[in-house]
Structure 1
Amino acid sequence: MSEKWSKKIKKWMTSKMELPADIMMDLPRVTMVGNLHIYIENHKGLLVFKDNELRLLLKQGQLLIKGKSFVLKTILPEEILLEGYIEEVLYLNE
């Protein structure tokens, strides 16, 4: 099955069956609590971690988080909990 056809089927199933888009379309789920915590699910790997930057690989593109005093509280194969002062969250479509 072509990738284009597969995407159309997933979009249709998501809308008609009221299924969560993040699960059906393999999208990341990002949950923030103020600017102190960020929880990311469904990423494809850690690319960069510094005390002021976190970069994750996504199925399509990357997620870049900038700030200060970063600490990884939880790191699992597809989930990350980051604490610190979050200044910027960017989706890079590269």
Structure 2
Amino acid sequence: MKMIPKPFRNWLSRYGQLPVDIVYDYPRVTMIGQLHLYIENHHGLSHFSNQEIIINQQQSQMVVTGRDLVIKNLLKEEIVIEGQIENVSWRSPSNL
């Protein structure tokens, strides 16, 4: 939805009852305990090791750190990570 102006996106999310993550192209992150992380709407991987995984988002990067990290599933728009997840954070464009 890159071509839709911001005021119309606001209207779509409020009155069109569309989820904000879809209207603004935000990632949807589901974490189950410290063992399982499910990320929808990503834009690829930047780095992968068993201690750190960096995932590209539309205008930032998500950094997942931990131990024994494994990518269980990698599809075009979703990733499933398992292992001992210790931290999930975002880097803004200024930190890239």
Give the TM-score normalised by the residue count of structure 2.
0.89
Q: Which structure 1 segments of 5+ residues have no match?
A: none
After superposition, what is the alpha-carbon deviation per residue over 1:13-33, rounded to whole angstroms, capped at 9, x for unaligned?
101122111111100000000
- The answer on 1:28 being equivalent to 2:31 is no
Residues 46-91 of structure 1: CA distance to partner in whole angstroms, max 9, x if unpaired?
1111000010111111100100001111000111000000100001
Give the SS at the match of 1:17: coil
Root-mean-square deviation over aligned CA pairs: 1.2
CA distance in 2, matches of 1:42, 1:51: 22
C-alpha separation in 1, matches of 2:17 and 2:23: 10
- Give SS of 2:5's match: helix
Deviation at 1:6, TM superposition (A): 0.8
Greater per-residue strand proportion: 1
2:44 aligns to what? 45
- Distance between the aligned counterparts of 1:83 and 1:14, measured in 2? 32
Q: Residues of 1 paired with 2:44 and 2:66: CA distance?
A: 20
- Equivalenced residue count is 91
Give 1:1-94 correspondences, 5 Å limit: 6-94=5-93
Quote the sequence identity (%): 42
TM-score (norm. length: structure 1) = 0.91
SS of residue paired to 2:48: strand
Q: What SS class does the counterpart of residue 35 from structure 1 fall into?
A: coil
